[in-house]
C-alpha cells in the first residue's frame, strides 16, 4: 500500500511498541452490502477487486496485504451482511471468520448516508467484544446531501473509535490506518454497552454466568454466546458442549421472558437494538432535508421502478445496448479492426515472409492459421469494449440494483429468489464468476438450479459468433436478432427451472433483501477498471488458448491421416473427425464437417468457434469471412447454429467452475450432457419449425 502513508504520520511513540509485536495482524472489513468494503479494501491493499453496486459481488472472503511501520497487516474483505444471525451463507462465512480466525481488529464500515440501518450490524458486532473501529464511509455523499453526523457524540456513546472517510475519494484513510494499528496493538477489547432492558439484561447475565462454569470454553466472548443461546441460535448451540444441568438452567432463564403471540426472543432483541439505534441517531444525525422531500433518486425511481414502466424501460435499455454494440457503430469499428489486422498487418507479415524466403507451409501457418484465426477473434474487441462499457455504466449508476428488484418478481415465478439475479446477470459477462457467484444462494438445491441456468445466459465469448453471422445474414435487423438469441437463452433457463423445480425446490424460495443505492454518475476510474478487466481477459485468452487452438486447427486441417501436407482441407484429419460428427446436426440444418469441428473447438473457449471457422472457411481468395459463411449457410441454418452455440456446454473453465461449486463429478457430467442435449433440441426445433414456417409462408 501507499508509500505516502509511510512518510506521513511518523507515529514515533508507537515504534518501540510495534517492534516488540512483529507478528502479522489481521483486520477484517465488515459491513452491510454496498457500504464500500471492497472500495476500501482496494484502497488499503492497492489491489483491484471487483467493486459492484449490488449485494452478492463479494461472495467469498478475499485477503490482501499491507505493510505499515514494519507491521504486516492482513486485510480481509468479507461478504456484506445485515446481521450476524445465520440466515445466509455470507452471514455464516463472516461470522465464522470472526469467531474462528481470531481477527485482531474489526473495521466496521458504516454507510453514513444510511446510518440507522447500518448500525444494526454494529450493535451485533459490538457484542462479540473484539477490538473494533467504526468507519463512517461515503461522507462525501453525506456532505453533498447537506446532512451532518456528530462523530464525537457517536464515539462517546458507543465507546468505540469513529473515523469518517470517503473510500472512493481516498479521504481519511491515513487517519483510519493510524488509529486501527494503534487500537489493534493495544488489544483493547470492547466493553459491551447495555442495549437491552433491565429484565432481559438480567437473564443474559444469568446465562453468561452459567456459561462461565464451562471448562472447555470456546474462543469467544461469553456474553455473545449467551445472547445467541437466548435467541436459540442452533449453530452456536451445536458448537458448545453444555452439560445437562447447564442446559436446564439456561432453558429456565430463557423462559423467564414473557412473549406475546407473534414475537419470538430474537425479535425481542432486534427490537431493543433498533430502539437503541434510534435514540442515538436522534441526537447524532442532523438531516438537512426532511424525509418527505423527494430526492433526485426518488424521482428517477418513481419512473424506473414504476409498476407499468419498469419492464418496458428495462427491455428498452437492453435493446439500446445491443443496438449500439451490434448496430452500425459496432460493425464499423469491427470492420476497421478487421481491415487493420487481416489486410494491413496480414499483408505486411506475408510480404516480410516472402522477402525472407519462408516456405509455403510457414506462410500458411502464420498468415492462414494464426493471423486469420486469432485476428478474426480480436477484431471483435471494439464490440466487447462497447458492450462492457455500457453495462458498467448501468451498473455503476445504480440502475442494475433496480434491475434486480424489477426481475425479482419474474424470478419468483419460476421458483428462484431475486438473489439469483446477480449470478444470472453476471452470466452475461462470463459464466465462471457467475457460477462461483451462485454461492450467495441460501439453499443447496437453489444453487444447483442456478448453476444449471447460468450457462444459458449468453456469455460475452459467444458474442463474436453472433456478430459474425449477423454480419453475414442479418445486417438489417441486428439488434432484434441478437435480442431474440438472448431471449432464447433466457427461455431455455426458464424451461430448465420448470423441469427441475419440482425435484430440486421444495417449499418457498428464500427471502431477498436488497437496498437500492442512490443514483450517481459513474466514475471514469471504475468504468475503466471494469472494462479493462474484460478486455485483458479477452486478450490473454486470445494470446494463449485461442492461439494454441488456432495452431492445432491449422495443423489438423493441413495434414491428412498419413501426415502429408494437403491442398484440399476436405482430405484432412480434421475433416475425418468432422464428418463423423456432422450427421448429428443434419436435423439442425448444418450438416457440414467444418461447422461440427468449430463447435468441437468451442468446448475449449467459445471464441474458438469463430477462429476455427475463420481458418476452415478461408478459401484464401481474399473473400472476407462473412461472405464465405453466407455461401455455406442459409439464414435459417445460421440462426439454428447460433442457437446451438448459445446453449451448448460452456467452455472448459466454466465446467471446472461447475465441478468446484457442485463438488460432484456426477452433477458436472449431468450438466454437461443436459446442455448438449438442450442445445441440440432447441436448435433442431428452430430449424424444423423455421422450415415449416417458411414453407407455409410460400403458399
Catalog residues that contact Mg ion under the rule CB under 5 A. Answer: 38, 58
- Residues between 234 and 253 that touch ligand GDP (CB under 6 A): none
According to DSSP, the residues that pair with 163 across neighbouring strands are 135
Residue 164: CB minimum distance to ligand GDP, A: 10
Considering the complex, state which of residue 58 and residue 139 has its C-beta at the smaller distance from Mg ion: 58
Among 39, 497, 612, 640, binds ligand GDP (CB under 6 A): 39
Among 25, 27, 28, 38, binds ligand GDP (CB under 6 A): 38
Considering the complex, state which of residue 30 and residue 492 has its C-beta at the smaller distance from Mg ion: 30
Distances, alpha carbon 26 to alpha carbons 63, 65, 72, 109, 475, in Å: 9, 9, 9, 16, 57
Considering the complex, state which of residue 53 and residue 431 has its C-beta at the smaller distance from ligand GDP: 53
Residue 118: CB minimum distance to ligand GDP, A: 11
Q: How far apart are CA 492 and CA 650, in angstroms?
A: 14
Dihedral angle sign, alpha carbons of residues 367, 373, 375, 379: positive
Binding partner of 160, given Mg ion, ligand GDP, none, CB within 5-8 angstroms per partner class = none
| 36 scored as a contact of ligand GDP (CB under 6 A) | yes
| 52 scored as a contact of ligand GDP (CB under 6 A) | yes
Q: How far apart are CA 615 and CA 683, in angstroms?
A: 24
User: Residue 291 in 3-state DSSP?
Assistant: coil
Q: Are 276 and 123 in contact (CB under 8 A)?
A: yes
Q: Are 172 and 139 in contact (CB under 8 A)?
A: yes
Candidate segments 26-34, 98-106, 571-579, 644-652, binder of ligand GDP by CB under 6 A: 26-34
Q: Are 34 and 515 in contact (CB under 8 A)?
A: yes
Residue 80: CB minimum distance to ligand GDP, A: 5
Residue 47: CB minimum distance to Mg ion, A: 12
Distance between alpha carbon 101 and the CA centroid of its chain, in Å? 25
Binding partner of 34, given Mg ion, ligand GDP, none, CB within 5-8 angstroms per partner class = ligand GDP
Among 45, 118, 168, 557, binds ligand GDP (CB under 6 A): 168
Considering the complex, state which of residue 26 and residue 376 has its C-beta at the smaller distance from Mg ion: 26
Q: Are 76 and 61 in contact (CB under 8 A)?
A: yes
Residue 314: CB minimum distance to Mg ion, A: 24
Candidate segments 32-40, 371-379, 561-569, 663-671, binder of ligand GDP by CB under 6 A: 32-40
| 37 scored as a contact of ligand GDP (CB under 6 A) | yes
Q: Are 330 and 384 in contact (CB under 8 A)?
A: no
Considering the complex, state which of residue 167 and residue 430 has its C-beta at the smaller distance from ligand GDP: 167
Burial 263-293 (b: 16+ CB within 10 A, else e): eebbebbbebbbebbeebbeebbeeeeeeee
Rounded to 5 degrees, φ, ψ at 150 are -85, 95
| 89 scored as a contact of ligand GDP (CB under 6 A) | no
Residue 58: CB minimum distance to Mg ion, A: 3
- Residues between 379 and 438 that touch ligand GDP (CB under 6 A): 396
| 141 scored as a contact of ligand GDP (CB under 6 A) | yes
Residue 439: CB minimum distance to ligand GDP, A: 15
Q: Are 126 and 132 in contact (CB under 8 A)?
A: yes
Give the helix/strand (H/E) hosting 63. strand 62-68
Considering the complex, state which of residue 36 and residue 373 has its C-beta at the smaller distance from ligand GDP: 36
Considering the complex, state which of residue 81 and residue 200 has its C-beta at the smaller distance from Mg ion: 81
Q: Are 162 and 150 in contact (CB under 8 A)?
A: no
| 277 scored as a contact of ligand GDP (CB under 6 A) | no
Residue 528: CB minimum distance to ligand GDP, A: 13
Binding partner of 602, given Mg ion, ligand GDP, none, CB within 5-8 angstroms per partner class = none
Binding partner of 33, given Mg ion, ligand GDP, none, CB within 5-8 angstroms per partner class = ligand GDP
Residue 176: CB minimum distance to ligand GDP, A: 12
Dihedral angle sign, alpha carbons of residues 614, 616, 620, 621: negative
Binding partner of 94, given Mg ion, ligand GDP, none, CB within 5-8 angstroms per partner class = none
Torsion of CA 578, 583, 587, 590, to 10 degrees: 30
Candidate segments 47-55, 173-181, 220-228, 500-508, binder of ligand GDP by CB under 6 A: 47-55
Residue 141: CB minimum distance to Mg ion, A: 17
Residue 170 region by backbone torsions, left for phi larger than 0, else alpha for psi between -120 and 50, else beta? left
Considering the complex, state which of residue 376 and residue 397 has its C-beta at the smaller distance from ligand GDP: 397
Residue 166: CB minimum distance to ligand GDP, A: 4
Give the helix/strand (H/E) hosting 28. strand 25-31
Among 33, 164, 327, 602, binds ligand GDP (CB under 6 A): 33
Among 45, 58, 83, 123, binds ligand GDP (CB under 6 A): 58
- Residues between 467 and 526 that touch ligand GDP (CB under 6 A): 526
Rounded to 5 degrees, φ, ψ at 73 are -125, 130
Residue 426: CB minimum distance to Mg ion, A: 14
Torsion of CA 235, 237, 239, 240, to 10 degrees: 160
Binding partner of 36, given ligand GDP, Mg ion, none, CB within 5-8 angstroms per partner class = ligand GDP
Among 1, 30, 45, 53, binds ligand GDP (CB under 6 A): 53
| 650 scored as a contact of ligand GDP (CB under 6 A) | no
Considering the complex, state which of residue 39 and residue 383 has its C-beta at the smaller distance from ligand GDP: 39
Nearby residues of 130 by Cβ (< 8 Å), 6 or more positions away: 98, 103, 105, 106, 189, 190, 221
Give the helix/strand (H/E) hosting 331. helix 328-338
Q: Is 25 exposed, middle or buried (0-12, 13-18, 19+ CB in 10 A)?
A: buried
Q: How far apart are CA 554 and CA 116, in angstroms?
A: 63
| 5 scored as a contact of ligand GDP (CB under 6 A) | no
Q: Are 364 and 372 in contact (CB under 8 A)?
A: no
Residue ranges of alpha helices (H) inside 460-606 are 463-473, 478-504, 524-541, 547-558, 573-581, 593-602
Candidate segments 33-41, 65-73, 351-359, 678-686, binder of ligand GDP by CB under 6 A: 33-41
HEC letters along 165-232: CECCCCECHHHHHHHHHHHHHHCCCCCCCCCCCHHHHHHHHHHHHHHHCCCCCCCCCHHHHHHHHHCC
Task: Say how many Å lie between the first and final Cα of the chain, rounded.
Answer: 73
| 166 scored as a contact of ligand GDP (CB under 6 A) | yes
Binding partner of 659, given ligand GDP, Mg ion, none, CB within 5-8 angstroms per partner class = none
Considering the complex, state which of residue 30 and residue 277 has its C-beta at the smaller distance from ligand GDP: 30
Residue 40: CB minimum distance to ligand GDP, A: 7
| Binding-residue total with ligand GDP (CB under 6 A) | 24
Among 138, 210, 268, 367, binds ligand GDP (CB under 6 A): 138
| 173 scored as a contact of ligand GDP (CB under 6 A) | no
Binding partner of 526, given ligand GDP, Mg ion, none, CB within 5-8 angstroms per partner class = ligand GDP
Binding stretches for ligand GDP (CB under 6 A)? 31, 33-39, 51-53, 57-58, 80, 137-138, 140-141, 166-169, 396, 526
Amino acid at each position: 500500500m501507499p508509500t505516502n502513508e509511510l512518510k506521513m504520520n511518523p507515529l514515533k511513540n508507537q515504534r518501540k511498541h510495534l517492534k516488540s509485536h512483529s507478528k502479522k495482524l489481521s483486520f477484517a472489513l465488515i459491513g452491510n452490502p454496498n457500504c464500500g468494503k471492497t472500495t476500501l479494501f482496494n484502497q488499503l491493499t492497492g489491489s483491484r477487486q471487483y467493486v459492484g453496486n449490488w449485494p452478492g459481488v463479494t461472495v467469498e472472503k478475499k485477503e490482501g496485504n499491507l505493510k505499515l511501520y514494519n507491521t504486516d497487516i492482513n486485510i480481509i474483505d468479507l461478504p456484506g451482511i445485515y446481521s450476524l444471525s445465520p440466515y445466509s451463507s455470507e452471514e455464516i462465512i463472516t461470522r465464522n471468520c470472526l469467531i474462528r480466525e481470531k481477527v485482531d481488529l474489526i473495521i466496521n464500515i458504516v454507510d453514513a448516508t444510511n446510518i440507522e440501518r447500518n448500525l444494526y450490524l454494529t450493535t451485533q458486532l459490538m457484542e462479540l467484544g473484539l477490538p473494533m473501529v467504526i468507519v463512517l464511509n461515503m461522507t462525501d455523499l453525506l456532505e453533498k446531501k447537506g446532512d451532518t453526523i456528530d462523530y464525537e457524540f457517536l464515539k462517546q456513546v458507543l465507546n468505540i473509535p469513529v473515523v469518517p472517510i470517503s473510500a472512493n475519494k481516498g479521504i481519511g484513510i491515513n487517519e483510519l490506518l493510524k488509529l486501527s494499528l494503534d487500537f489493534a496493538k493495544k488489544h483493547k477489547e470492547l466493553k459491551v454497552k447495555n442495549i437491552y432492558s433491565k429484565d432481559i439484561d438480567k437473564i443474559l447475565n444469568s446465562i453468561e454466568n452459567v456459561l462461565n462454569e464451562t471448562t472447555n470454553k470456546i474462543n469467544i466472548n461469553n456474553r455473545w454466546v449467551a445472547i445467541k443461546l437466548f435467541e436459540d441460535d442452533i449453530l452456536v448451540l451445536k458448537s458448545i458442549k453444555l452439560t445437562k444441568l447447564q442446559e436446564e438452567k439456561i432453558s429456565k432463564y430463557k423462559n423467564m421472558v414473557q412473549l406475546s403471540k407473534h414475537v419470538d426472543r430474537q425479535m425481542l432483541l432486534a427490537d431493543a437494538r433498533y430502539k437503541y439505534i434510534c435514540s442515538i441517531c436522534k441526537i447524532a444525525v442532523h438531516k438537512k432535508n426532511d424525509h418527505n422531500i423527494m430526492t433526485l433518486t426518488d424521482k428517477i425511481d418513481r419512473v424506473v421502478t414504476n409498476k407499468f414502466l419498469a419492464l418496458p424501460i428495462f427491455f428498452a435499455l437492453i435493446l439500446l445496448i445491443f443496438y449500439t454494440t451490434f448496430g452500425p457503430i459496432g460493425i464499423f469499428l469491427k470492420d476497421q479492426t478487421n481491415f487493420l489486422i487481416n489486410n494491413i498487418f496480414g499483408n505486411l507479415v506475408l510480404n516480410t515472409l516472402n522477402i525472407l524466403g519462408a516456405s509455403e507451409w510457414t506462410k500458411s501457418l502464420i498468415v492462414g492459421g494464426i493471423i486469420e484465426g486469432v485476428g478474426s477473434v480480436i477484431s471483435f474487441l471494439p464490440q466487447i469494449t462497447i458492450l462492457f462499457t455500457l453495462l458498467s455504466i448501468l451498473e455503476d449508476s445504480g440502475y442494475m440494483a433496480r434491475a434486480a428488484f424489477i426481475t425479482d418478481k419474474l424470478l419468483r415465478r419460476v421458483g428462484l429468489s431475486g438473489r439469483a439475479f446477480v449470478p444470472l446477470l453476471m452470466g452475461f459477462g462470463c459464466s465462471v464468476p457467475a457460477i462461483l457467484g451462485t454461492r450467495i444462494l441460501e439453499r443447496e438445491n437453489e444453487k444447483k438450479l442456478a448453476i444449471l441456468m447460468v450457462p444459458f445466459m449468453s456469455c460475452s465469448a459467444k458474442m463474436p459468433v453472433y456478430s459474425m453471422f449477423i454480419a453475414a445474414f442479418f445486417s438489417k435487423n441486428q439488434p432484434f436478432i441478437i435480442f431474440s438469441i438472448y431471449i432464447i437463452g433466457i427461455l431455455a433457463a426458464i424451461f430448465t427451472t420448470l423441469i427441475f423445480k419440482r425435484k430440486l425446490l421444495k417449499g418457498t424460495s428464500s427471502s431477498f433483501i436488497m437496498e437500492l443505492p442512490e443514483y450517481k454518475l459513474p466514475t471514469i476510474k471504475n468504468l475503466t477498471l471494469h472494462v479493462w478487466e474484460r478486455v485483458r481477459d479477452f486478450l490473454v485468452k486470445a494470446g494463449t488458448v485461442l492461439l494454441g487452438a488456432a495452431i492445432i486447427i491449422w495443423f489438423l486441417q493441413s495434414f491428412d491421416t498419413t501426415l502429408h501436407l494437403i491442398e484440399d482441407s476436405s482430405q484432412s484429419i480434421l475433416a475425418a473427425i468432422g464428418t463423423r460428427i456432422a450427421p448429428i446436426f443434419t436435423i439442425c440444418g448444418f450438416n457440414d464437417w467444418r461447422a461440427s469441428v468449430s463447435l468441437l473447438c468451442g468446448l475449449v473457449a467459445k471464441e474458438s468457434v469463430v477462429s476455427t471457422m475463420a481458418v476452415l472457411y478461408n478459401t484464401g481468395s481474399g473473400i472476407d469471412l462473412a461472405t464465405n459463411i453466407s455461401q455455406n449457410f442459409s439464414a435459417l441454418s445460421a440462426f439454428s447454429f447460433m442457437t446451438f452455440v448459445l446453449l451448448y456446454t460452456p467452455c472448459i473453465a466454466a465446467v471446472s467452475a461447475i465441478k468446484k461449486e457442485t463438488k460432484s463429478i456426477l452433477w458436472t457430467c449431468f450438466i454437461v450432457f443436459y446442455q448438449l442435449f438442450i442445445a441440440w433440441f432447441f436448435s433442431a426445433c428452430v430449424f424444423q419449425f423455421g422450415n415449416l414456417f417458411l414453407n407455409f409462408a410460400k403458399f
